[in-house]
Amino acid sequence: MSSAAAAAATSFAAKVAATPAPAPAPSRRCLPLRWNPSARRGVAAMAVSTPRSAAAAAAFLERRESERALHFVKYQGLGNDFIMVDNRDSAVPKVTPEEAAKLCDRNFGVGADGVIFVMPGVNGADYTMRIFNSDGSEPEMCGNGVRCFARFIAELENLQGTHSFKIHTGAGLIIPEIQNDGKVKVDMGQPILSGPDIPTKLPSTKNEAVVQADLAVDGSTWQVTCVSMGNPHCVTFGTKELKVLHVDDLKLSDIGPKFEHHEMFPARTNTEFVEVLSRSHLKMRVWERGAGATLACGTGACAVVVAAVLEGRAERKCVVDLPGGPLEIQWREDDNHIYMTGPAEAVFYGSAVH
């Protein structure tokens, strides 16, 4: 909650406490009703109650605020949106996976692709990042999420200008750097190409890597390349029958789950469908494990460039267009690390009952 909002809430509570409760009119009273489930007659039995005092009501509001309200900031990176929670005082997330799923619901909650917690660092890292997906599952890492994470840290710590952080994640150490233009450049580390480590049950086709392997899905044979960026990705540029894939024509909600839950991926998988615009310009749509169709996936964009290079379709530095906007991805030869650059922005501040 912002300082202005907090001040307004405090002022409201003070006014409530200071204002005497009005005396009810003798002839008509508007009272809350309570249903009595033990009533045996057809007419509802009712009991009435009134607040003992305005001060008691104010105290209740304050207690509800402290015990049940989750303060958060909503961030988005190319439309991939997250509920960011300051969890620096504890190594235990402030909400459970089930509560996170409810918060992510776009009709009955705040609405988001995931809930991200800024937690104390371990093993020499400055901070620890944990995330619960919109279905309550916990992925190893999230590329768009880590950019939002970096910007959120800068806000929490009141940092200006360029800064970098060491972030402990389930995928290992990730180092984002806030740049002068406000974008965040992230050292995503080295891609994992060994099939069992991704993991996938598909046999290797190129050294230890799974490159352009055949995968039967929904009556078609797709050619896929598997990459892990600390989380599993299945990248496809099309089927054997359809050499050029037009990603806008895909019914992602139909085909995406069939890839995610395919028996060849024991930990499920994220899936990227890719259209090659040029050797330095790719277009993708993504079905994320645990979140479904999203507007962007940072680790997915990294995996796409790795797959395009391995298949000889693109150079090592590309712009990747996602539904939410472009990311700049570079797979460097000198250190084998992948670098992702893109935006992250605060959307609004709020509190949610959980």
Helix axes 298-310, 143-156, angle to 10 degrees: 140
Beta-ladder partners of 164? 177
Q: What is the DSSP letter of 203?
A: P
Domain 195-336 has CATH 2.60.40.1530: no
Bridge partners, residue 127, by sequence? 120, 167
Q: What is the pTM of this model?
A: 0.78
What pLDDT shows up at residue 62? 53
Instruction: Please report the pLDDT score of residue 18 as a whole number.
Output: 35
What number of residues does the chain have?
354
Q: How much is the pLDDT for 290?
A: 93
Select from 220, 300, 299, 234 the least CA-distant residue to 268: 234
The residues assigned a catalytic role are 142, 297
Three-state DSSP at 42 gives coil
Q: Name residues whose C-beta falls within 8 Å of residue 59's C-beta, 6 or more positions apart in sequence.
A: none
pLDDT in the model for residue 59: 54
Angle between helices 54-68 and 3-18 (to 10 degrees): 150
Would you state the pLDDT for residue 157? 93
Q: What CA–CA distance (Å, rounded) separates 135 from 288? A: 11
DSSP class of residue 144 equals: H
Mean pLDDT by runs of 10 across the 354 residues of the chain is 42 35 36 32 34 50 62 96 97 97 96 98 97 96 96 94 95 95 95 97 95 96 97 96 89 97 98 98 97 95 98 98 97 97 96 84
Place of tokens 């979140």: 291
Q: How far is CA 117 from CA 13, 88, 149, 258, 333, in A?
A: 30, 8, 8, 30, 33
The answer to whether 198 and 235 are in contact (CB under 8 A) is no
Q: How far is the CA of 262 from the CAs of 72, 84, 209, 210, in angstroms?
A: 35, 31, 19, 16
Domain locations in the chain? 69-189+346-353, 195-336
Q: 330: buried, middle or exposed (CB in 10 Å: 19+, 13-18, 0-12)? A: middle
What per-residue confidence (pLDDT) applies to 38? 34
* CATH fold label, 69-189+346-353: Diaminopimelate Epimerase; Chain A, domain 1 (3.10.310)
Check residue 243 and give its pLDDT. 73
Return the residue matching tokens 């993991």: 199
Per-residue pLDDT, 68: 72
Q: Measure the CA–CA gap between 116 and 129, rounded to whole angstroms.
A: 7
Q: How far is CA 27 from the centre of its chain?
A: 55
Q: Residue 69: is it exposed, middle or buried by C-beta count within 10 angstroms (0-12/13-18/19+)?
A: middle
